[in-house]
Structure 1
Amino acid sequence: MPIVNIQMMEGRTDEQKAALIRQVTDAVMSAISSPEESIRVLLQEIPKKHFGISGVPADQLGR
């Protein structure tokens, strides 16, 4: 069972996250011929204040 774990900064819409899950699932099916029903995609959203970019929290950078 392929499990894809994606960590990303919070802020995407539910529609964007659904599209990401769909497209990652399609990519895994294509790349390794895995059946769709066995693929798991996990999204972990990280708060902007906990996401550092060049030594600075993303919320302080206006991201």
Structure 2
Amino acid sequence: MPIAQIHILEGRSKEQKRSLIKEVTEAIYRSTGADHDRIRVLLYEIAEENWAAGGVTKAEEKLENR
């Protein structure tokens, strides 16, 4: 049973997340041949204050770029 774990920033619409899940499922199906109902996709939404690069959170970066 293939499992894809994806970490994304919060803020995407339900439709965007639904589309991502469908596309990832199809990619796994095409590359492995696993049955669709056996493929698992786990989305982890991370708050901007908990996502950082170079010591700066995404929330801080947004404030700086205003």
> TM class by shorter-chain length?
over 0.9
Q: CA deviation at 1:39?
A: 0.3
Q: CA deviation at 1:8?
A: 1.1
User: Could you say which structure has the larger radius of gyration?
Assistant: 2
Q: CA deviation at 1:36?
A: 0.2
Matches within 5 A, 1:1-63: 1-62=1-62
CA RMSD of aligned residues (A): 1.2
Secondary structure, aligned partner of 1:27: helix
Write the distance in 2 (CA, Å) between the matches of 1:9 and 1:56.
15
Letter of the aligned partner of 1:2 in structure 2?
P
Q: Which structure 2 segments of 5+ residues have no match?
A: none
- Runs of at least 4 residues of structure 1 off by over 2 A? none
Letter of the aligned partner of 1:32 in structure 2?
T
TM-score (norm 2): 0.90
Q: CA deviation at 1:54?
A: 1.8
How many residues align? The count is: 63
TM-score (norm 1): 0.94
